């Protein structure tokens, strides 16, 4: 058996289910029901301790503190292949800070250098689209004067912001885009899938509809084999009702998470998101 260190980098703003995913991933692997299994207990599950306890009680996880930067290290087995997975857990506010301050933390440089497997977590369920002159007729009377504001008075909208984030990460990894990228495997993960209320079943189609600029960016700059779009519901459903809490308490937390594969098929084995590591 060969043992390899594999590092996966989960990239996502606050409330995109990064920590919930890690807890459910760990729980599923611990139960032995996923294609990838734990090889012994990890030395520590400190990075996900609080979230792990909460989900087992049927409670939603709390936002990870902004300054948190702890690696969850798991020894894993898939068939005969053994590998060590290093998953950093961090406060999603660090992503917001990177985008707005345009400065990266030293430890992020190391994370980027060590990982060629990126999971970009997005939430699309609460996006609101404003009308503009290309979607709704304006009339002369609607033209009004405004003070001259500088460009920096504005924050970026969702799609340009995500593109800017990826551009920044590629820059710090010293990865150019002259040729489509093949050495970094990017999985775009649309999280909180259960909250979407959409008829679209193919995750890439949903990304194209909701954030077309990001869709174009990743498909233009990544090689076909290195980019895929997935859906994920780490909780399965919301945990505000007593009835749903009961499901967690009765049957365990790991049972309810599900993935939507790139072809639209659902799977309860969320370890599939790690398949490219092997």
Partner 1 sequence: MNTGKCDNPDCNAAITGKCHIGNDTLTECDQWKDQVKTTKSVKKATAEHRLHIQWTGSDFKIPDIERISRRASPLILGSVGHSDSGKTSFLGVLFTLLTNGHNLSDFRFSGSETFLQWEFLMRKLKFEKGKVAFPPPTPSGGDYYSFLHLALRNQKKHLKDILFADFSGEVFSQWSVDKNDAAVENVRWLDEYADGFLFFVNAQIIAERRMAAVYDILDMAERLNESLRGRPVIAVWSKADHIQSVNEAHFRKIETEFARLFGQDTLYQVSNYLDINSNPDPKSISNLTLLNDLLNKISNIKMPKMTIGISTTETDPFLTYRGHGK
Q: Would you list the DSSP string of 190-252?
A: EE-GGG---S--SHHHHHHHH-HHHHHHHHHHB-GGGEEEEEEESSSS-S-SHHHHHHHHHH-
Q: Determine if 197 is a binding residue for partner 1 (CB under 8 A).
A: no
Chain positions 167 to 196 lying near partner 1, rule: CB under 8 A, are 167-168, 171, 176-180
Q: Determine if 105 is a binding residue for partner 1 (CB under 8 A).
A: yes
Rule CB under 8 A: choose which of 213, 263, 265, 275 binds partner 1: 213
Which residue matches tokens 């920096």?
A: 152
Q: Determine if 267 is a binding residue for partner 1 (CB under 8 A).
A: no
Q: Would you list the DSSP string of 38-75?
A: ESS--S--GGGHHHHHHHHTT-PPPPPPTT-EEEEEEE
Q: Determine if 107 is a binding residue for partner 1 (CB under 8 A).
A: no
Q: In terms of C-beta distances under 8 Å and separation of at least 24 residues, what long-range contacts does 135-140 make, across chains too?
A: none
Q: How far is the CB of 188 from partner 1 (least distance, A)?
A: 16
CB nearer to partner 1: pick between 45 and 177 = 177
Taking CB under 8 A as the binding criterion, the range among 37-45, 117-125, 144-152, 188-196 that sits at the site for partner 1 is 144-152
Q: How far is the CB of 110 from partner 1 (least distance, A)?
A: 12
Tell me how crowded residue 155 is: count the other CB atoms within 10 A of its CB: 10
| Burial degree of 101 (CB within 10 A; 0-12, 13-18, 19+) | exposed
Q: Determine if 132 is a binding residue for partner 1 (CB under 8 A).
A: yes
Q: Determine if 104 is a binding residue for partner 1 (CB under 8 A).
A: yes
Which distant-in-sequence residues (6+ apart) come within 8 Å of 256 by Cβ? 233, 235, 236, 237, 247, 248
Q: How far is the CB of 86 from partner 1 (least distance, A)?
A: 22
Chain positions 6 to 65 lying near partner 1, rule: CB under 8 A, are none
Applying CB under 8 A, which residues contact partner 1?
A: 102-106, 109, 130-140, 142-146, 148-157, 159-161, 163-164, 167-168, 171, 176-180, 208-209, 212-213, 216-217, 219-221
């Amino acid at each position: 058996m060969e043992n390899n260190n594999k590092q996966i980098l989960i990239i996502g703003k606050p409330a995109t289910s990064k920590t919930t995913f890690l807890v459910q991933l760990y729980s599923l692997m611990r139960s032995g029901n996923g294609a990838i299994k734990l090889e012994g207990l990890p030395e520590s599950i400190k990075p996900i301790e609080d979230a792990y306890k909460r989900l087992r009680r049927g409670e939603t996880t709390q936002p990870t503190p902004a300054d948190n930067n702890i690696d969850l290290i798991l020894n894993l087995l898939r068939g005969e292949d053994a590998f060590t997975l290093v998953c950093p857990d961090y406060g999603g506010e660090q992503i917001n800070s990177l985008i707005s301050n345009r400065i990266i933390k030293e430890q992020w440089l190391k994370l980027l250098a060590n990982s060629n497997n990126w999971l970009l977590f997005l939430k699309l369920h609460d996006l609101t689209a404003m009308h503009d002159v290309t979607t709704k007729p304006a009339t002369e009377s609607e033209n009004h004067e405004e003070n001259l504001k500088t460009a920096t008075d504005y924050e970026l909208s969702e799609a340009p912001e995500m593109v800017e984030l990826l551009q920044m990460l590629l820059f710090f990894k010293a990865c150019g885009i002259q040729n489509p990228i093949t050495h970094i495997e990017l999985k775009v993960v649309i999280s909180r899938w259960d909250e979407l209320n959409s008829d679209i079943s193919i995750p890439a189609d949903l990304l194209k509809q909701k954030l077309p600029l990001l869709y174009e960016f990743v498909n233009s700059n990544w090689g076909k084999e290195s980019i895929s779009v997935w859906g994920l519901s780490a909780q399965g459903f919301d945990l505000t009702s007593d009835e749903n809490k009961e499901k967690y308490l009765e049957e365990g937390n790991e049972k309810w998470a599900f993935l939507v594969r790139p072809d639209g098929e659902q799977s309860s084995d969320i370890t599939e998101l790690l398949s490219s590591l092997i």
